[in-house]
């Protein structure tokens, strides 16, 4: 079995008074989770923390227990069911208090299951894989901007200036039914996986991310370098990263 190392780091950024991102690493179950909340009166902070804590509380024990013997299809079904319940919990919380009205959150999470990474996401928080000196984006943003790009209505240059990049088409806690994007990926020794909020990717493009990861130095140094890089470019939003490294072949 390949060994796994983890690191999580979150920062309020340079302009926001509070941090509405939340992160979690459960080493026992090899589960990583990141969420980026939205909503006034710190309600986004409530939504993101609910998403991360509820996913970890439900999936962590299952993945480290009976889930070890589950097939990939069974595990993916468990992930979908969990996210459905979390979505309902956030909806109910939003309806229970006036100051929580309209809150919601993105989520991106990964569960290392056998020789695969089961990767799920809703919204525009992203996942990447750094493998043999190459960075690959593993998720597609659930935003109005991405829809316009997919439809050929905008060029990448136009997209970089579009206000639509901030408009989500999917989030937890917004509608009664949420569609989780979920895929199973084969992992390889030496892989480095990155989960991040848009506070990182709005400040640094994929080329910059690759350059910072390539400097190495260990997970803590790489995570700090990413956060510092986003803040150096203005830090307009909260910045969060989770890194998971698989052991290299002997």
pLDDT, tens only, 147-180: 777 777 777 777 666 665 678 999 999 999 999 9
pLDDT-above-70 percentage for the chain: 95
pLDDT, average across residues 59-69? 96
Residues across the chain? 250
pLDDT, average across residues 62-80? 96
SS3 percent helix, strand, coil of the chain, rounded to 5, is 40, 30, 35
Surface-to-core class of residue 107, CB atoms within 10 Å of its CB (0-12 exposed, 13-18 middle, 19+ buried):
buried
* 26 beta partners: 31
| Structural contact between residues 101 and 94, judged by C-beta atoms closer than 8 angstroms | yes
Does domain 4-12+19-141+176-246 fall under CATH 3.40.50.300? My reply is no
| Structural contact between residues 103 and 44, judged by C-beta atoms closer than 8 angstroms | yes
Domain residue spans of the chain: 4-12+19-141+176-246
Per-residue tokens: 7: 């690191």
- pLDDT, mean over the chain: 93
Confidence of residue 249 (pLDDT cuts 50, 70, 90): low
Task: Please determine, for residue 1, whether its predicted confidence score (pLDDT) is greater than 80.
Answer: no
- Tell me the three state secondary structure of residue 34: strand
Tell me the pLDDT tens digit for each residue of 74-114: 999 999 999 999 999 999 999 999 999 999 999 999 999 99
pLDDT, average across residues 196-202? 97
Q: Rounded CA gap, 115 and 187, in Å? A: 6
Q: Rounded CA gap, 213 and 192, in Å? A: 9
**pTM for the complete prediction?**
0.94
Q: Rounded CA gap, 198 and 58, in Å? A: 26
- Tell me the three state secondary structure of residue 66: helix
| Structural contact between residues 225 and 212, judged by C-beta atoms closer than 8 angstroms | yes
pLDDT at 163: 64
Q: Rounded CA gap, 62 and 53, in Å? A: 14
């Amino acid at each position: 079995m390949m060994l796994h190392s983890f690191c999580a780091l979150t920062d309020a950024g340079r302009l926001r008074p509070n941090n509405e991102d939340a992160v979690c690493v459960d080493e026992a179950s090899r589960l990583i989770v990141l969420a980026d909340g939205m909503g006034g009166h710190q309600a986004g902070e409530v939504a993101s923390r609910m998403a991360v804590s509820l996913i970890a509380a439900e999936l962590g024990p299952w993945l480290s227990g009976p889930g070890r013997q589950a097939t990939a299809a069974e595990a993916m079904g468990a992930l979908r069911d969990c996210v459905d319940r979390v979505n309902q919990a956030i909806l109910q919380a939003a309806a229970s208090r006036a100051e929580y009205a309209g809150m919601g959150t993105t989520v991106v999470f990964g569960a290392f299951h056998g020789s695969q990474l089961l990767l799920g996401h809703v919204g525009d928080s992203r996942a990447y894989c750094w493998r043999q000196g190459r960075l690959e984006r593993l998720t597609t943003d659930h935003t109005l901007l991405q829809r316009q790009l997919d439809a050929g209505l905008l060029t990448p240059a136009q997209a970089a200036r579009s206000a639509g990049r901030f408009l989500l088409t999917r989030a937890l806690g917004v509608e009664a039914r949420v569609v989780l994007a979920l895929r199973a990926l084969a992992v390889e020794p030496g892989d480095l996986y990155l989960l991040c909020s848009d506070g990182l990717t709005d400040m640094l493009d994929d080329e910059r991310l690759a350059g910072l990861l390539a400097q190495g130095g260990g997970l803590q140094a790489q995570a700090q370098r990413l956060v510092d890089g986003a803040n150096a470019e203005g830090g307009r939003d909260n910045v969060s990263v989770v890194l998971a490294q698989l052991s290299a072949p002997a």
